[in-house]
Amino acid sequence: MNVKIEPSWNSTLRDVFEQDYFKNLVTFVKDEYANTKVFPPGKEIFNAFAHCPFERVKVVILGQDPYHGDGQAHGLSFSVRPGVPFPPSLLNIFKEIKADIGRDMPPNGDLTRWADQGVFLLNATLTVRAHQAGSHQKKGWEEFTDQVIQRISDQKESVVFLLWGAYAQKKGLLIDQQKHMILKAPHPSPLSAHRGFLGCRHFSKTNAYLKSKGLSPIDW
């Protein structure tokens, strides 16, 4: 199957694209885009992969669903386009960065600059119907993204996985903790951030680990 995805990922996942569940997923997604409003725009479904080739992955930040509001989602977990107000979780992420490493709040919520440095901003589900949270869950995306996480764990070394919230933390079972660093915290949502996300210092801890492995730190 010819999936339009960044070449290194296409090579890494070629066999996945031939699996029956993925073919069924493609049929479902194409039908949804043809018949209803879906986010992100079709050309940005694999944006996280486009900006962070497989060989450059140093950090993985797992989200769950794309934003389902107009103009927000563009294929990177937690990220929004320039000009879009910061969603509450993203605002708390920036607050923690400020407290942790002293970096001031950025002018916009576009995390493409992270992705271009090797931060793989992966949502468990890559598409969603407009204004219908969770509408594309259990259609095959989770199986696909689990396989992506597994390939990163199996084929790379010294990757930092930031698992925020109970849903993301379940993915820890897919990751070889002998080869990689896993950092866990509550979700940055206002409902839970005060229970330990704020104060987790994951951004400085990530950079300390990367430097200990001879890798360049992330300019958060």
Of the residues 15, 20, 31, 65, only one is catalytic, namely 65
Count of CB atoms situated within 10 Å of the CB of 70: 11
Distance CA 141, CA 161 (A): 19
Length of the chain: 220
* Rounded (10°) angle between helices 202-212 and 88-101: 60
| Helix (H) / strand (E) containing 194 | none
Q: Token digits for 16? A: 């996945």
Helix (H, G, I), strand (E, B) or coil at 13: helix
Q: Residue 120 gets which letter from DSSP?
A: E
Distances in whole angstroms, Cα of residue 190 to Cα of each of 88, 176, 184, 196, 200: 7, 30, 17, 11, 15
Distance CA 220, CA 198 (A): 16
Distance CA 131, CA 142 (A): 20
Cβ atoms of residues 47 and 9 within 8 Å:
no
65 is known as an active-site residue = yes
Q: Which residues are catalytic?
A: 65
